[in-house]
């Protein structure tokens, strides 16, 4: 599945805040950092773990940084 910086994604499990199951990708590299759209919590995953937990891309960012 393709995803990029600033995309809105949905994870398989809901965040404990229960406000939202959607996240924004804020950093990409060997690790991926995401921000919960419900409470603003920031979580970092290893790329392998992130790809296992990713359910779908909800919204793609209009402008991709290069």
Using CA atoms, how far apart are residues 34 and 11, in angstroms rounded to an integer? 11
Which pTM was predicted? 0.84
- Output 35-40 pairs: Cβ under 8 A, ≥24 positions apart: 37/8, 39/15
Tens digit of pLDDT for each residue in 21-64?
899 999 999 999 999 998 999 999 999 999 999 999 999 987 65
Residue 23 lies in a domain: yes
- Residue-range definition of the domain harbouring residue 22: 8-59
CA atoms within 13 A of residue 7's CA, in its CB half-sphere: 17
Helix segments in the chain, DSSP class H: 47-53
Write out the two tokens for 30: 């060997």
- Structure-token pair, residue 4: 């990029």
Query: For residue 14, is it within any domain?
Result: yes
Asked whether residue 36 is assigned to any structural domain, the reply reads: yes
Between 16 and 58, name the one with better pLDDT: 58
């Amino acid at each position: 599945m393709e995803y990029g910086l600033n995309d809105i994604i949905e994870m398989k499990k809901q965040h404990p805040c229960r406000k939202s199951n959607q996240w924004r990708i804020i950093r990409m590299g060997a690790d991926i950092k995401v921000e919960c759209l419900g409470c603003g919590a920031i979580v970092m995953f290893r790329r392998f773990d992130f790809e296992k937990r990713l359910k779908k891309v909800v919204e793609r960012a209009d402008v991709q940084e290069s």
